[in-house]
Structure 1
Amino acid sequence: MTDQAWWRDAVIYQIYPRSFKDNNGDGIGDLPGVTSRLDYLKTLGVGALWLSPFYRSPQADAGYDVADYRDVDPLFGTLADFDDLLSGAHDRGLRIIVDLVPNHTSSEHDWFKAAMAAGPNSRERARYMFRTGRGEHAEQPPNNWQSVFGGPAWTRVEGEDQWYLHLFDSSQPDLDWTNPEVREEFESVLRFWLDRGVDGFRVDVAHGMIKQEGLPDFEGDQSMIEGGNRGPMWDQDGVHEIYRAWHKVLDEYDGDRMMVAEAWVHPQERLARYVRPDEMQQAFNFDYLLTRWNSKALKQVIDTSIAQSASVGAVPTWVMSNHDGVRHPSRLGLADPGARPNGLTAQDPQPDEALGYRRARALIMLTLALPGSAYLYQGEELGLPDHTTMDSEYRQDPTFHRTQGREIGRDGCRVPLPWQADAPALGFGGEKTPWLPQPESYARYAVDQQEHDDTSMLSLYRQLLQLRQAHQLGRGEVEWQPVEQEAVLSLVNAGVRLVINLGDQTVPMPEGDVLVTSLPDNTFQDGIPANAAVWLRA
């Protein structure tokens, strides 16, 4: 690693393959669909693409239940299609990051099928977390742990005293990472994709692979997000030994290969442990994603993130949305702006779509003005809201089904992208209905409606990304500027001054040449309007 490693200031675009672009017309996005839009992504101005899982899988959890880590699921194409995508991306100067899912496999993975066939105390079962149940007849789970998706985290093997652990769906059995065979297998998987030329890995549930010895009961909040690093199933010190070993594997390859942790860990001091010099290169900054629309809270999380990353020689990351939560334009339009409900339905209070969109335009200006690396979720450059009125019959998230609909789940943020307003499926694919329904509102957000509109969200993203690169904002430093209004934040970074007004009243505009505004220029004649932002030459 050097200070010039590409990932230190990269803007990385998350692609959820089944919802990005459908090339073969079956209603599900695929890898050739991604390849067909590489020029769009290059023009957008991002530097790397993160692909959510495309591996062979029964798709019980949209591909996060992996049956074969070394193959592409036929839904998405072939290994040759992946190689074409990788080659096409590299030809355009775009890096490729792939998702790695090491906490659990699919129940259809050869290892788990062998474990079920082999029986108790076998080498095959030792790769997973099988335990004897409690009670006179082993009728109770081995402990009180709950699944992130709802219900018990244990499933009993039919006709046996043994149960197996699954922190997620019952089709996603947890691996036992104290087993050397598991560690050897995943180092081999890393090398398989590194040999093909991938530039990095996003590590799913990076804080969950090691469980406290003895698997004790826990009475606190066991949820992955709210629970964070609380409980014997999360953020155990043993995970860091794994990442130190993986770091050595990546060091065998040239090109500054990288890893980014999905670790819902609090506080930031704990998160910084994942990005020490001999572990991962980045960790998602979920504290930033979870911060409400509040100037004081945003300043605090920015300062803390920068300081804690710097304490271990790492860089902060900034993320506003991903495939696991309500899209930020919808969250910012809620009565409690920035709150993070687990999905929205037609029966819930609906977000103010226009207000959320306006705030999202301002928030990306703050986000891209910060040093470090930024992650964008597909469609946010279009300003896409969540599908907040999807009928229950279409929902596929295991969270929805395991909780009998009490938890709505993540389908609303995973809806296929709109490319062309007047085409079937809004240009996502062919005539076949997409795997999730698109709301009518998506037509006005379609790429072809924004492509040549200088006031569109897409144009704003392109302009900001171009300026960010030109001024090297990702390699700069934050210098906060004094402000008179509590709802205002102002900072200078590498010759650019950002001012964002999170309040509901217009505030004075500082002196300086305007580089870009979050709303059309004529709305800034009397100052910076409510819920708006500006970049000026510092």
Structure 2
Amino acid sequence: MAPHSTGSPEAPDERWWKEAVAYQIYPRSFNDSDGDGIGDIPGITERVEYLDALGIDVVWLCPVYASPQADNGYDISDYRSIAAEFGTMDDWDALLEALHAHDMRLLMDLVVNHTSDEHEWFQRSRRRDGAYEDYYYWRDGGEDEHGDPTPPNNWGSFMGGSAWTYDELRGQWYLHLYDEKQPDLNWRNPEVRDEIASLVEWWLEKGIDGFRLDAINVISKPEGLPDGSGDTHPTGVELFSHGPRAHDYLRELYDRTFADYDVVTVGEMGETTVDIASEYMGGDGVGLDMLFHFEHMDVDVGPRGRWDPEGWGDWSLPEFKRIMSRWQTQLEAGWNAQYLGNHDQPRIVSRFGDVAERSSAAQQTSSVDDERYRIESAKLLATFLLTTHGTPFIYQGEEIGMTNATFETFDELDDPMMIGAVEDYVAAGKADSPEELRDFWNFQSRDHARTPMQWSNDEHAGFTDGEPWFAVNENYRDINVEAARSDEQSIWHHYRRLIDLRHDEVALVYGEYELLLPDHEQVYAYTRTLDESQILVVLNWSDEPATVDFGHTDGDLDVSDLRVRLSNYDETPSTPGERPLRPFEAVVYRN
């Protein structure tokens, strides 16, 4: 099941997953086959041919395991069962077979920093049941002046509030870096690591092609679980990210499982620099092949992080270029996992495209009429994603330019992280009501990525025949797959052409990246070079015309040898710099 790349005998360290284009599916919102309003596995199988037509090589499937859905499936109650709302194990087997029949591979989500509190392990642990007693982090706390129990330390949950919850049955506090229904596993316990290795082996034996490892940078906690400084409920790298035994745990897992299979591992790692990333990857690392870093996802967040309602929304292209170029050129080991959006981020065209460029974040809208360059900017984002170094990950709906939705009231939100951030802000007396933060959640909420996939202009966007679990974005009548596939100039067809181009041009996979014009406020330009092949990508990342002079760039760029290979406009200049670039114009040149 090789991707469509022609390969090259000169290309360094070839791997199937380097040459692939991946597509992330959020099952609950992708396609509903039985009319209950919830996307399911048979619904995904129905769309396999759609993914094949787009040119996808790998599908990353967000969790479909048994779960009470406190955090949309990232709270797992049984790793070897499928959630009833998504289907059965037979349905999952049929999906895997269909993907493999179309030369596509399947990447599952491995969520092992925590489980659901309804998992058998936790239920037995809270009863102090033999070997399960220390499967999780249990600690005694203190007492306040009223004699009420207080947490063991001041750590904060990523969902807001304390990272500790008191369990009456056990009479102790348990640690949860995420929702209180997601207790953290104690990786220090070798029996926990045995359990994890066993379930990984079980899925690999079923024939999957790899894992995306959720929140894998926080599996090792510091000795003594010391208080953090500063906030009432601090979180951060100094507390529990990249803990003292993280490398040991992951190397052990690799040696016991992944090393014996031709699979790919992609770690999700917040608070990770290029130097830290290199320590996890490659032969001298812990066996990870790729990782998702968050540095570029923090380019427009507030000074106190993503969930800070102050200072969000502004970003500069030169800073974005510096971040991305650092990862393109300084990653000493491993491979980039390139992405602009996923199930945890706002829609990319509303964040980095026309809407974000046209006005302040607080004034953003999902109205198609107000998005003058939505199509051009969505194509520009696609061009960037599919021509930079690393394996590109497309999130469902990006290929048709889906936008952020509009949530008028706090009650419309489903995202527990956003809900927790708003509640904490109000509780701290910084806002009188949640609705004062409407602009913030309409820019940053994870809910934007979780509105149902827009397949057609039929009721509920063709996602379901029933009542959808979450409201469909109101612009589905204009933005949908059916309309996009019928228009040869659509965003969808631009993605398809770019995927074909990446499969055909080995330089776009293995070629060296070189940034041009690093300080230009509007233009992001770079080359990809492999042997005699050179590709130049020029992106006017703004809603105003931009002038570039490639005669004054560093390096060995000879624009006279370059010809247009792909563009998001008609009548593209045949030579780079021949005339000003139009708003959000994106051009790929090749010698």
TM-score for the superposition, normalised by structure 2? 0.82
Cα gap change, 1:195/1:533 in structure 2, threshold over 3 Å: closer, same or farther? same
State the AA in 1 paired with 2:137. M
- Rounded to whole Å, the distance in 1 between the matches of 2:267 and 2:86 is 24
- Rounded to whole Å, the distance in 2 between the matches of 1:364 and 1:220 is 40
Of 237, 242, 260 in structure 1, the residue corresponding to residue 249 of structure 2 is: 242
Range with greater deviation from structure 2 (136-145 or 435-444): 136-145
SS at match of 1:316: strand
Of 276, 297, 302 in structure 1, the residue corresponding to residue 282 of structure 2 is: 276
Q: Deviations over 1:471-510 (max 9, x none)?
A: 1211211234569955323222243221112242233696
Please show how residues 444-463 of structure 1 align to structure 2 within 5 Å: 444-463=478-497
State the AA in 2 paired with 1:105. T
Q: Deviations over 1:276-312 (max 9, x none)?
A: 3242110013223444664422332233113332x12
2:363 match: 349
1:211 match: 221
Residue 498 (1) aligns with residue 537 (2)? yes
Residue 145 (1) aligns with residue 155 (2)? yes
- Rounded to whole Å, the distance in 2 between the matches of 1:107 and 1:28 is 23
SS at match of 2:109: strand
Q: Which runs of 5+ in 2 are unaligned?
A: 1-11, 301-314, 424-433, 550-558
Q: Is the 8 A contact 1:105 1:174 kept in 2?
A: yes
2:238 match: 231
Cα gap change, 1:275/1:356 in structure 2, threshold over 3 Å: closer, same or farther? farther
- Rounded to whole Å, the distance in 2 between the matches of 1:113 and 1:204 is 23
Residue 302 (1) aligns with residue 352 (2)? no
Q: Is the 8 A contact 2:290 2:335 kept in 1?
A: yes
- Rounded to whole Å, the distance in 1 between the matches of 2:363 and 2:233 is 24
1:385 match: 403
Q: Is the 8 A contact 2:527 2:537 kept in 1?
A: yes
Of 503, 507, 519 in structure 1, the residue corresponding to residue 547 of structure 2 is: 507
- Rounded to whole Å, the distance in 1 between the matches of 2:165 and 2:317 is 46
State the AA in 2 paired with 1:249. R
1:411 match: 447
Cα gap change, 1:410/1:295 in structure 2, threshold over 3 Å: closer, same or farther? closer
Of 336, 339, 344 in structure 2, the residue corresponding to residue 324 of structure 1 is: 344
- Rounded to whole Å, the distance in 1 between the matches of 2:226 and 2:518 is 50
Please show how residues 42-441 of structure 1 align to structure 2 within 5 Å: 42-118=52-128, 123-135=131-143, 137=147, 139-158=149-168, 161-220=171-230, 230-254=237-261, 256-277=262-283, 278-291=286-299, 294-309=316-331, 311-312=332-333, 314-332=334-352, 337=357, 348-351=362-365, 353-355=371-373, 357-389=375-407, 391-402=409-420, 403-404=422-423, 405=434, 408=441, 409-421=445-457, 423-430=458-465, 432-441=466-475
State the AA in 2 paired with 1:82. W
TM-score for the superposition, normalised by structure 1? 0.90
Q: Is the 8 A contact 2:128 2:170 kept in 1?
A: no
Cα gap change, 1:204/1:304 in structure 2, threshold over 3 Å: closer, same or farther? same
- Rounded to whole Å, the distance in 2 between the matches of 1:533 and 1:336 is 17
Q: Give the C-alpha shift of residue 9 in structure 1.
A: 3.0
Q: Percent identity?
A: 34
Q: Give the C-alpha shift of residue 379 in structure 1.
A: 0.5
When the two chains are superposed, the root-mean-square deviation of aligned CA atoms in Å is: 2.8
Residue 32 (1) aligns with residue 54 (2)? no
Q: Is the 8 A contact 2:139 2:173 kept in 1?
A: yes
SS at match of 2:588: strand
- Rounded to whole Å, the distance in 1 between the matches of 2:142 and 2:351 is 43
1:478 match: 513
State the AA in 2 paired with 1:519. Y
Cα gap change, 1:222/1:527 in structure 2, threshold over 3 Å: closer, same or farther? farther
Q: Is the 8 A contact 1:18 1:29 kept in 2?
A: yes
Q: Give the C-alpha shift of residue 57 in structure 1.
A: 0.4
Of 446, 466, 469 in structure 1, the residue corresponding to residue 503 of structure 2 is: 469
Q: Is the 8 A contact 2:375 2:490 kept in 1?
A: no
Q: Deviations over 1:157-176 (max 9, x none)?
A: 12664111111111111111
Cα gap change, 1:334/1:138 in structure 2, threshold over 3 Å: closer, same or farther? farther
Cα gap change, 1:289/1:375 in structure 2, threshold over 3 Å: closer, same or farther? farther
Q: Give the C-alpha shift of residue 435 in structure 1.
A: 0.7
Q: Is the 8 A contact 1:331 1:356 kept in 2?
A: no
Range with greater deviation from structure 2 (60-69 or 130-139): 130-139
- Rounded to whole Å, the distance in 1 between the matches of 2:258 and 2:113 is 23
Q: Is the 8 A contact 2:353 2:378 kept in 1?
A: no
Q: Is the 8 A contact 2:484 2:493 kept in 1?
A: yes
Cα gap change, 1:222/1:52 in structure 2, threshold over 3 Å: closer, same or farther? farther
- Rounded to whole Å, the distance in 1 between the matches of 2:382 and 2:456 is 24
- Rounded to whole Å, the distance in 2 between the matches of 1:516 and 1:477 is 20
- Rounded to whole Å, the distance in 2 between the matches of 1:104 and 1:470 is 41
SS at match of 2:254: helix
Cα gap change, 1:326/1:33 in structure 2, threshold over 3 Å: closer, same or farther? same
Residue 41 (1) aligns with residue 63 (2)? no
Q: Give the C-alpha shift of residue 338 in structure 1.
A: 11
Q: Give the C-alpha shift of residue 358 in structure 1.
A: 3.3
Q: Give the C-alpha shift of residue 537 in structure 1.
A: 2.0
Q: Give the C-alpha shift of residue 536 in structure 1.
A: 1.6
Q: Is the 8 A contact 2:109 2:214 kept in 1?
A: yes
Q: Is the 8 A contact 1:516 1:536 kept in 2?
A: yes
- Rounded to whole Å, the distance in 1 between the matches of 2:178 and 2:467 is 29
